[in-house]
């Protein structure tokens, strides 16, 4: 059962995060979280012909690792929520097409994984599904081409510019009763507030107010 209390959804039967996985690029591997990543890809093309194909490959790899950790096969998944930063969520759709499970593309930019977890939890708590995959990805080289300038253009980045992560993350949300698995107890869905941030290179300022309800 799901209770709506002033915009916060409470789950009486809490969905479990049965597994999770992350695949990242070489820059991310230089940070303090290096040992927490499941796989590091040092080739920005990930063995593919384009950066967009590389991002799809990272999504596919993250989902595959997540399924393996949960000891599930593609046929055990009722559907998937996934998204990225590209037009029509092409990185996610091409990355997941070989699995054959129903796919719902979502676009929330930096909130995509949170949206995936929310919708997956609602699906499981409402008994619409037993196992749901949610995934999100981005790639520095594809995001630059999408939002700013292709790397080949040679544009100089200002010191305040944000650096889009090269990586993909995936989770399996399940109705499992495994007591040690992380639980999703409740979710609060935000509202739209325009804080007047107009600098496309300073997305941190635009997102910072999200912590204030």
Over 60: is that where the pLDDT of 213 sits? no
CB neighbour class for 200 (10 Å; exposed up to 12, middle 13-18, buried from 19): exposed
Q: What pLDDT is stored for residue 154 in this prediction?
A: 66
* Torsion angles phi and psi, residue 135, rounded to 5: -150, 155
**191 confidence band (pLDDT: 50, 70, 90):** confident
Q: Which long-range contacts (CB under 8 A, 24 or more apart) does 38-45 make?
A: 38/62, 38/65, 39/65, 44/139, 44/140, 44/141, 44/166
Mean pLDDT of 9-25: 95
| In contact, 1 and 13? CB cutoff 8 Å | yes
**pLDDT at residue 28, rounded to an integer:** 94
- At 212 the pLDDT is 55
Segment among 8-17, 100-109, 127-136, 203-212 with least mean pLDDT: 203-212
- 144 vs 140, more confident: 140
- Range picked from 88-92, 153-157, 187-191 for highest mean pLDDT: 88-92
For 161, list phi and psi in degrees, rounded to 5: -65, 140
Looking at the chain, the number of H-run helices and the number of E-run strands are 5, 9
The mean pLDDT of 108-133, rounded to a whole number, is: 94
| Domain chopping of the chain, boundaries | 2-211
Helix (H) or strand (E) holding 122: helix 112-125
pTM of the full predicted structure? 0.87
For the segment 146-154, the average pLDDT, to the nearest whole number, is: 71
Backbone angles phi, psi at 179, to 5 degrees: -70, -25
**pLDDT surpasses 90 at 172:** yes
DSSP 13: S
The proportion of the chain whose per-residue pLDDT surpasses 70, expressed as a percent, equals 93
What was the pLDDT predicted at 176?
87
Of 200 and 90, the structure prediction assigns the larger pLDDT to 90
Least confident window among 21-25, 31-35, 167-171: 31-35
Cα separations in angstroms, 212 against 11, 113, 114, 177: 23, 19, 16, 33
Query: Of the CATH numbers 3.40.1280.10, 3.40.47.40, 2.60.120.1440, 1.10.3720.10, which one belongs to the domain with range 2-211?
Result: 3.40.47.40
List the one residue out of 133, 147, 121, 42 whose CA is nearest residue 95: 133
As a whole number, the mean pLDDT across the chain is 90
């Amino acid at each position: 059962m799901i209770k709506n209390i002033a915009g916060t959804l409470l789950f009486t039967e809490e969905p479990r995060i049965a597994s999770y996985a992350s695949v990242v690029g070489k820059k991310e591997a230089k940070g303090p979280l290096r040992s927490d990543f499941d796989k590091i890809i040092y080739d920005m093309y990930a063995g593919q012909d384009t950066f967009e194909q590389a991002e799809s490959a990272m999504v596919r790899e993250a989902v595959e690792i997540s399924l393996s950790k949960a000891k599930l096969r593609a046929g055990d998944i009722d559907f998937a929520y996934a998204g990225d930063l590209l037009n029509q969520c092409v990185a996610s759709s091409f990355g997941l097409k070989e699995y054959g499970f129903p796919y719902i593309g979502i676009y929330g930019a930096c909130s995509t994984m949170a949206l995936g977890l929310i919708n997956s939890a609602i699906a499981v708590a409402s008994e619409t599904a037993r196992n749901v995959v949610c995934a999100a990805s981005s790639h520095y080289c594809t995001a630059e081409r999408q939002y700013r300038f292709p790397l080949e253009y040679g544009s100089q980045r200002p010191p305040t510019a944000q650096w889009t992560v090269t990586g993909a993350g995936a989770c399996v949300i399940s109705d499992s009763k495994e007591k040690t698995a992380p639980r999703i107890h409740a979710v609060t869905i935000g509202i739209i507030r325009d804080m007047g941030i107009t600098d496309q290179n300073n997305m941190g300022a635009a997102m910072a107010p999200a912590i204030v309800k």
